[in-house]
Structure formats: C-alpha cells, structure tokens
C-alpha cells in the first residue's frame, strides 16, 4: 500500500531554525510527499531560506495572526 505523508511547519521569524526543521523532516525514514511551511507574517529571511528547497517543500506566507497590542 502506498502512503502519502504531509508535514506542516508553522513559523514566525525563525529563519535561523527553519532549515534545520526542514532538513530534519526530509531526513525521516518515511519520506514526505509534501512539506508545507506556513509563515505567519515573518519579517526576517524565512522566505528566502525556504525557497531554496523546491518540491516537496511548499511555502505559504500569510499576514500575521498576532493580536495587535492593547
């Protein structure tokens, strides 16, 4: 039986860790068919670091969901 595995990483301004997280998932014994990185409005170079991977890594950037200060 063929299995399809999808992994999701949620991130916000963690560019210095994102490559380690992606590499860890890609190195798992069970290969992923899709790895989605959801970026919650980062202002660092997360997008640039993720872009170098290509498939099966997909990058989704959305406006930050953080609440505005009171």
Q: What pTM, to 2 d.p., does this model score?
A: 0.86
- Tokens 């299995």 sit on residue: 3
The reported pLDDT for the residue numbered 64 is 79
pLDDT band at 2 (very low <50, low <70, confident <90, very high): confident
Rounded-to-integer distance, Cα 60 and Cα 62, Å: 7
pLDDT digit string, tens, across residues 12-53: 999 999 999 999 999 999 889 999 999 999 999 999 999 999
The reported pLDDT for the residue numbered 65 is 73
pLDDT surpassing 60 at residue 56: yes
pLDDT surpassing 70 at residue 69: no
């Amino acid at each position: 039986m063929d299995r399809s595995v999808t992994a999701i990483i949620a991130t916000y301004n963690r560019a210095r860790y994102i490559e380690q997280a992606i590499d860890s998932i890609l190195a798992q014994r069970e290969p992923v068919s899709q790895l989605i990185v959801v970026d919650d409005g980062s202002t660092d170079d997360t997008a640039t670091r993720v872009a170098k991977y290509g498939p099966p890594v997909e990058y989704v950037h959305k406006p930050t969901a953080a609440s505005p200060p009171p």
